[in-house]
Amino acid sequence: MASEHGGDKLRKLRKELKLTQVQVARIIGISSIRIRRLEKGFRGNLDRIAIHRLANFYDIDEVELLIELLSKHDEPD
């Protein structure tokens, strides 16, 4: 079983709000592809604006989110 990563937290928060990736993307002004990749744990090209917008939207600490997204985890399938 893969260990949890920052993307898991983003997915959980989004689902708690009963929103789709597309809805979140539209609300905060980033692509749904970026949302999907972050939720799956892909760390490449982390965009500070996207991290800032996600942290603000979910009312979580931006630095904590960034650390979680950068933390080591098993690669997604």
Q: Which segments in the chain show pLDDT lower than 70?
A: 1-3, 72-77
What pLDDT sits at residue 70? 86
The C-alpha atoms of residue 77 and residue 48 are separated, in whole angstroms, by: 25
| C-alpha to C-alpha distances, 62 to 15, 26, 53, 76, 77, nearest whole angstrom | 19, 20, 9, 23, 26
- Tell me, yes or no, if the pTM score tops 0.75: yes
Expressed in angstroms, the distance from the first to the final Cα of the chain is 11
- What pLDDT is recorded for position 34? 92
